[in-house]
C-alpha cells in the first residue's frame, strides 16, 4: 500500500510540470499543477492510484497572487491518503478545463464555481445555473472578494431551462417547490408515461443562505457555532468536520478522552436519525404504527441528548481541540440504560415491520440504484452502501477514536428501498454498540487541548462520516480570520442519484423512494 512519501515519489517522476510538491504526513500530499495540465494530472492520479475528486474548491486569491486558486481534493481508493492539487487561474483569463465528462460530481462543483465566482469551465456539457436562480444578475458572483452588496433582484419570468421529454403519451407532472407538508422547498418535474416515470429533474437552492460567505465575516473561534447550524440533524458531524479542519491546520492532537467522547456524540446523532428514518420509510408503505413508535424512541434519545449536553441536537458540545463537556458516572449510566432500552424497542419495531408482507412488497425492488450508476455518480453514505459500495470514512479514514473501535460496515447489493432501510437498521444497532464500547473503554484525562496560534497563511480539511454520509470542510485562513470555507454535505453528491433510482417506478412510489434517501435541503442549499 502506498504512503505519502511513495505517492510523492511517483508524482515527482512524472512529466506533468508539477510544482511545490510537499507531504503532510500521515495522509496528505500537496502539489501545484499548471492550468493546462489539470486534465492529464487528474487522469494520471485516477489511473495510477484509483483517485477521484471528492471536493473542488475555488478561492479568490487575486489580492495576493493576481489569480484565482482552484483546489482539487482527490481521495485515493482503498488507502487513507489524499492528494490536494492547486492550480492558479489568471485574473484576466478565467477559464479552466472541465473534468465534467470524466467525473459527474466534478461537473456539479464546476457549475457551482461558475455561478459563485464567474470562472469558466471550458468543455463543460451542461452549464445551467445551480446555486443561483434565474433572477440573479448574470454578472453578479457573490463569493468574489470585491462583490458589491447584493443588487435588487427582479424576476423577469424567465423559466429555468428544464429538459423536456416529448413523445406520444408523455405527460409532465410538477411538484413543489412549495409542498403540502412542513418541509423545505424543492421543485420536482416528472415526465411520465401513464404512471411510469421516465425522467425526473429537480431544482434546489430555494433556501440558498450564503453560509460559506458568512464564515468569512466571523472569527474562526465562532465558526463551529455556524457549522453546527448548517443542517440541524447533523449538528455534531458538521461541527466535527470544521474542528478537524482547524486541528489539521494547527497540527493539534486531541486528548484520547476527547476522541472517545466525540465518537459517542457522533453515534448518538446517527442513532436517533436512523431510527427516525426507518419509521418514516415504514410510514410511506402505509405502516404508520412503526413510525409512531420510532418517533417515541427518537424523543427518548433527544431527551437524553439534552440531559447530557443541554441541547437536544447536541449543539455546543464540540470545540477545536476536543469537546466542551465531560460525562459523569451518573450520566454514563443514563446513556447505557436509555440506549439499551431504545435499541430493544427498535428491534421489536423492525421485527414487526419486516414480518409484514405488505411492507416488504413495497420495499423490495422499489427505487433500485445499481452499483455501476452509484459509482459513476459518486454516491456516498448509506445510499452507496445499499448499492454495494463498501466505503465508510470512519473505517477508511479513521478520525476521533474509530481506529481503536473497529466496527462492521453494513453493505447490501440490492440498491432498493429495502436495502437502504436495512443499512440504516444495522448501522443503528452498530451505533448503539459503539456507544457502549466508548463508555466501557473511556480513558481518563483531559477533554480538550489548546489550539496554538495559527500561522499567517494556513489551510486544512476535515472529513467526517455523518449519518447521511461523508461531510467535508476545507478551511483557508490568515491568522484568526477565515478567508474561505467550503462545505460538502453528502446530499450534494446524492441528490442526482434520486433521478436514476426513480426511473421505471410509478409516481405513487416517489415519496417512499425519496424518503429512503432522506436528502437534506439545508445541507445542500448552502
Chain segment 20-74, per-residue pLDDT in tens: 999 999 999 999 999 999 999 999 999 999 999 999 999 999 999 999 999 999 9
Q: Which fold has domain 4-122?
A: Beta Polymerase; domain 2 (3.30.460)
Say whether pLDDT at 180 is over 90: no
Q: Beta strands 82-90 and 67-75: pairing type?
A: antiparallel
pTM for the full model? 0.96
CA distance 104 to 100: 5
Reported confidence tier of residue 450, pLDDT bands at 50, 70, 90:
very high
Say whether pLDDT at 1 is over 80: no
Determine the pLDDT at residue 178.
Answer: 86
Determine the pLDDT at residue 157.
Answer: 76
Burial 151-187 (b: 16+ CB within 10 A, else e): eeeeeeeeeeebeebeeeeeeeeebbbeeeeeeeebb
CA distance 154 to 139: 14
The architecture CATH gives domain 211-524: Orthogonal Bundle (1.10)
Determine the pLDDT at residue 55.
Answer: 98
Say whether pLDDT at 151 is over 80: no
Chain segment 233-254, per-residue pLDDT in tens: 999 999 999 999 999 999 999 9
Of 65, 64, 129, 122, nearest to 94 (Cα)? Answer: 122
Cβ-based neighbour number of residue 103 at 10 Å? 19
Where exactly are the structural domains of the chain? 4-122, 170-203, 211-524
Determine the pLDDT at residue 56.
Answer: 98
CA distance 359 to 356: 5
Residues 81-89 have a mean pLDDT of 97
- The per-residue pLDDT of the chain, averaged, comes to 95
Residues 435-454 have a mean pLDDT of 95
Residues 134-143 have a mean pLDDT of 89
Looking at per-residue confidence, does 282 or 219 come out higher? 282
Number of helices (H) and strands (E), helices first, in the chain?
A: 18, 15
Amino acid at each position: 500500500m502506498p504512503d505519502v512519501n511513495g505517492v510523492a515519489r511517483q508524482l515527482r517522476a512524472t512529466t506533468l510540470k508539477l510544482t511545490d510538491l510537499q507531504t503532510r504526513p500521515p495522509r496528505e500530499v500537496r502539489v501545484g499543477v499548471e492550468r493546462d495540465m489539470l486534465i492529464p494530472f487528474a487522469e494520471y492520479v485516477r489511473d495510477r492510484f484509483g483517485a477521484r475528486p471528492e471536493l473542488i474548491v475555488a478561492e479568490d486569491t487575486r489580492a495576493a497572487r493576481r489569480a484565482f486558486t482552484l483546489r482539487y481534493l482527490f481521495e485515493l481508493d482503498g488507502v487513507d491518503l489524499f492528494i490536494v492539487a492547486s492550480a492558479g487561474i489568471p485574473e484576466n483569463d478565467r477559464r479552466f478545463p472541465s473534468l465534467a465528462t470524466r467525473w459527474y460530481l466534478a461537473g456539479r462543483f464546476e457549475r457551482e464555481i461558475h455561478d459563485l465566482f464567474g470562472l469558466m469551465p471550458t468543455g463543460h456539457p451542461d452549464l445551467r445555473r445551480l446555486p443561483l436562480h434565474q433572477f440573479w444578475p448574470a454578472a453578479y458572483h457573490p463569493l468574489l472578494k470585491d462583490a458589491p452588496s447584493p443588487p435588487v433582484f427582479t424576476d423577469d419570468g424567465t423559466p429555468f431551462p428544464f429538459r423536456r421529454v416529448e413523445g406520444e403519451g408523455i405527460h409532465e407532472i410538477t411538484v413543489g417547490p412549495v409542498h403540502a407538508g412542513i418541509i423545505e422547498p424543492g421543485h420536482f418535474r416528472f415526465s411520465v408515461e401513464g404512471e411510469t416515470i421516465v425522467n425526473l429533474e429537480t431544482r434546489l437552492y430555494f433556501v440558498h443562505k450564503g453560509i460559506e460567505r458568512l464564515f468569512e465575516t466571523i472569527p474562526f473561534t465562532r465558526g463551529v457555532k455556524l457549522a453546527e447550524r448548517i443542517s440541524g440533524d447533523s449538528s455534531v458531524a458538521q461541527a466535527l468536520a470544521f474542528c478537524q479542519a482547524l486541528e489539521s491546520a494547527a497540527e493539534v492532537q486531541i486528548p484520547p478522552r476527547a476522541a472517545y467522547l466525540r465518537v459517542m456524540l457522533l453515534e448518538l446523532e446517527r442513532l436517533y436519525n436512523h431510527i427516525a428514518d426507518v419509521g418514516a420509510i415504514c410510514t410511506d408503505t402505509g405502516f404508520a404504527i412503526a413510525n409512531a413508535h420510532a418517533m417515541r424512541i427518537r424523543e427518548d434519545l433527544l431527551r437524553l441528548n439534552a440531559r447530557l449536553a443541554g441541547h437536544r441536537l447536541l449543539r455546543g458540545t464540540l470545540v477545536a481541540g476536543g469537546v466542551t463537556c465531560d460525562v459523569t458516572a451518573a450520566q454514563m449510566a443514563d446513556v447505557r440504560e436509555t440506549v439499551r432500552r431504545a435499541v430493544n424497542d427498535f428491534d421489536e419495531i423492525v421485527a414487526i415491520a419486516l414480518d409484514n408482507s405488505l411492507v416488504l412488497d413495497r420495499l423490495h425492488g422499489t427505487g433500485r440504484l445499481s452499483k455501476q450508476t452509484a459509482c459513476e455518480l459518486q454516491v456516498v453514505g448509506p445510499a452507496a452502501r445499499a448499492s454495494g459500495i463498501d466505503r465508510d470514512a470512519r473505517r477508511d479514514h479513521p478520525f476521533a477514536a474509530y481506529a481503536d473501535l473497529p466496527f462492521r460496515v453494513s453493505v447490501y447489493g440490492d440498491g432498493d428501498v429495502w436495502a437502504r432501510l436495512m443499512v440504516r437498521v444495522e448501522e443503528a444497532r452498530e451505533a448503539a454498540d459503539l456507544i457502549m464500547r466508548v463508555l466501557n473503554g473511556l480513558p481518563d484525562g483531559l477533554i480538550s487541548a489548546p489550539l496554538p496560534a495559527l500561522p499567517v497563511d494556513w489551510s486544512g480539511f476535515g472529513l467526517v462520516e455523518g449519518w447521511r454520509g461523508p461531510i467535508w470542510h476545507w478551511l483557508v485562513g490568515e491568522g484568526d480570520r477565515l478567508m474561505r470555507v467550503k462545505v460538502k454535505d453528502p446530499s450534494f453528491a446524492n441528490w442526482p442519484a434520486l433521478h436514476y433510482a426513480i426511473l421505471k417506478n410509478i409516481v405513487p412510489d416517489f415519496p417512499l423512494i425519496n424518503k429512503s434517501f432522506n436528502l437534506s435541503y439545508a445541507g445542500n442549499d448552502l
